[in-house]
Structure 1
Amino acid sequence: MTDTVALFQAFIRVVEAGSFSRVAEEQNSSQPTVSRQIATLEDHLGTRLFTRTTRKLTLTDDGRGFYERAKLALEAVAEAEGAVGRRRARPSGTLQLALPVVFGRLRVIPYLKGFLARYPDVSVDLVMSDGFSDLVEDGIDLAIRSGVVTDPNLIARKIGVTRRILVASPSYLRGKTLPTHPNDLIGHDCIPYTRFTGGVTWRFESPDGPIAIEATGPVRTQSSEGIREAVMSGLGIGFVPIWHFRDEIETGRLIVLLEAFEPKPVPISAVYPSRRFVPQKTRAMIDYLETQFAMDPTLNPKRV
């Protein structure tokens, strides 16, 4: 008997990943095996779902229509299983969790031991990058992101909030005039974060309205770890979320500047692909991190 659900799952992942070989790698199988699954599904449906060339896969008209219906069908199956399973089952399976590098290292990985002790049937595959993953294409179950999420294809649930602050080391500030206004930064070495526009154009709040400064200096980087190390090494002033440096600020190894001009806090969200049924493992991680973040003053500041 043909396992129709498995064929639907293989088809959807091939569409999302755009490659038989990539799906084969995910399934620990082979490219011919995945290709046979799609061929079996096409025979079952009596239609061709893909146009294949040596360079790419393209959905046919029937394939595009079937893709949307197959997703709904699998969501219905999962929801039906979950309605029964929630009464007796614990979260299980591998959770693909995408995290920014420094945030993951400092603010998520330290909590994972408690999560895994609570949910021993769940394993976590950490996908750590400062860039945004394509959650659907990369098969990501859950991502943690800072800032406003505008992608209409994603669901975002706020699980924390954080301040953005200016920091510098005593060694950098030694012998220099401390800035008292954002305009004073023009005379300082700033360390721009070049991965996105907000890392180069620094925005502040003042009684007279917003202030924007173009951050310049001899060192620039697209890496959050690079920002940390450059600031700690005394290379200049960094503009970062406060969770980057909680311990360093508390112990005096870094100094916070221009607090009176601090911009509005930004949300931290758990983000997942838009779908009606969310796996128990994903819900469990979201709820767990939200609870942990609520106890962290850098992720739930009292001033907010």
Structure 2
Amino acid sequence: MDLINGLHTFLRVVETGSFSAVARETNASQSAVTRQVAQLEEHFGVRLLHRTTRKLSLTDEGQDLVVRARHLLEEAEDLEDTFGKDGGSPTGLVRVGVPVGAALLLVPDFAALLNKHPGLAVELVISEVSDDMVAERLDVALRFGQPSDTSLVSRALATVGSTAVAAPAYLERHGAPEHPSDLLDHACIIQDTGPDSTHWAFSGPDGAVEVEVTGSFRSNNSLVVRQAALAGHGIALLSDPLTFSEVRAGRLYRLLPNYVARRRPSFVVYPSRRHLAQRTRLVIDFLIEEFRELDSRMRDRREWGDNDATWLV
């Protein structure tokens, strides 16, 4: 049997918890996937999975093989990258988990990376929250806030700011707030990220200011929240990468210029591995360089142009 392919199939069955899910991934029949795992059990002479009509569970031998197989497949990928047919040039697919705001700014820069390395492929998996990297098959991810999974390697990038913004149409009807407390009299668009979604915190000349905002429109997707702001539904508090191009174009205006919303640290995270594939290392280095450059641009007021709403105050 093809041991490497069999081990890869077995790991994906474990990670997804489903033979049918792996069959869909690989465009194979479910019986073919089941047969691969059965051949692996026959090869080693042990049962790897307990199968019921509702779920799969690992045997002790299966749990041990998961650890060993992951290490073996990582080594195989490293060998392929180092001694493969392209003579050390990085090849293959790297799956990157990234928030939508950062993705929109990074996409143009990926063109230069891919042109320089024609054997490399990148898939952006858009995610606003910290998901299970193993289940999502992510090689690397950008995350805002301190990662909670201590099994991951985390490299700090920068802190990311947020700004209250609104469209000209809304501001012409309702005016612009002078102080964060004025937000209580405005329609606010809520990005639903948890219990504190309506709790907006700022710092300014009078110190820390916290406001419990209200609004009739909310979404758990930041891109939808931005679209609602562009449509004039109200004031939104969004990350700077997500609003940068809209502010520069005059489609949104930055509010409360004397107050800064709470900044969040950003990290590039990836599974803790003794050997990272060359293509993954390349993408990690690219993300670090690009994201830090983006953060520098976000901090430079000249990059934003003159589109704040002080003229409406």
Q: Which residue of 2 aligns with 1:291?
A: 289
The offset of 1:220, in angstroms, is 1.4
1:141 partnered with 2:142:
no
Q: Which residue of 1 aligns with 2:202?
A: 204
1:150–1:129 distance in 2 versus 1, CA, 3 Å: closer
Residue number among 107, 110, 120 corresponding to 1:109 in the alignment? 107
Q: Which residue of 2 aligns with 1:96?
A: 95
> What residue identity is the alignment partner of 2:42?
D
1:73 partnered with 2:110:
no
Residue number among 266, 279, 282 corresponding to 2:280 in the alignment? 282
Structure 1 range deviating more: 108-117 or 67-76: 67-76
Between the aligned partners of 1:17 and 1:177, the Cα distance in structure 2 is 51
Q: Structure 2: give runs of 5+ residues left out of the alignment.
A: 302-313
> What residue identity is the alignment partner of 2:191?
Y
Between the aligned partners of 1:299 and 1:6, the Cα distance in structure 2 is 45
Question: What secondary structure is seen at the aligned counterpart in 1 of 2:299?
Answer: coil
Q: Which residue of 1 aligns with 2:306?
A: none
Between the aligned partners of 2:116 and 2:235, the Cα distance in structure 1 is 41
- After superposition, the C-alpha distances for 1:10-55 in whole angstroms (9 at most, x for unaligned) are 2222111111122222233222222122112212222111100122
1:226 partnered with 2:219:
no
Write the mapping of 1:56-205 to structure 2, written as runs, cut at 5 A.
56-79=55-78, 88-104=87-103, 106-174=104-172, 176=174, 178-205=176-203
- After superposition, the C-alpha distances for 1:73-125 in whole angstroms (9 at most, x for unaligned) are 33344455556569931111122222333432x21222222121011111223
> What residue identity is the alignment partner of 1:115?
L
Between the aligned partners of 1:133 and 1:279, the Cα distance in structure 2 is 22
Q: Which residue of 2 aligns with 1:4?
A: 3
> What residue identity is the alignment partner of 1:168?
A
Question: What secondary structure is seen at the aligned counterpart in 1 of 2:275?
Answer: coil
- TM-score, scaled relative to structure 1: 0.87
C-alpha contact (below 8 Å) 1:243/1:299 kept by paired residues: no
1:48 partnered with 2:47:
yes
Between the aligned partners of 2:17 and 2:112, the Cα distance in structure 1 is 36
Between the aligned partners of 1:17 and 1:272, the Cα distance in structure 2 is 19
Between the aligned partners of 1:76 and 1:92, the Cα distance in structure 2 is 15
- After superposition, the C-alpha distances for 1:208-231 in whole angstroms (9 at most, x for unaligned) are 654332221121122222211111
Between the aligned partners of 1:100 and 1:144, the Cα distance in structure 2 is 7
Question: What secondary structure is seen at the aligned counterpart in 2 of 1:7?
Answer: helix
Between the aligned partners of 1:297 and 1:46, the Cα distance in structure 2 is 54
Structure 1 range deviating more: 22-31 or 239-248: 22-31
Q: Which residue of 1 aligns with 2:214?
A: 216
C-alpha contact (below 8 Å) 2:82/2:278 kept by paired residues: no
The offset of 1:60, in angstroms, is 1.3
Question: What secondary structure is seen at the aligned counterpart in 2 of 1:74?
Answer: helix
C-alpha contact (below 8 Å) 1:161/1:301 kept by paired residues: no
The offset of 1:251, in angstroms, is 4.1
C-alpha contact (below 8 Å) 1:246/1:298 kept by paired residues: no
How many percent identity over aligned positions? Answer: 37
- After superposition, the C-alpha distances for 1:199-246 in whole angstroms (9 at most, x for unaligned) are 322122246654332221121122222211111122111101112222
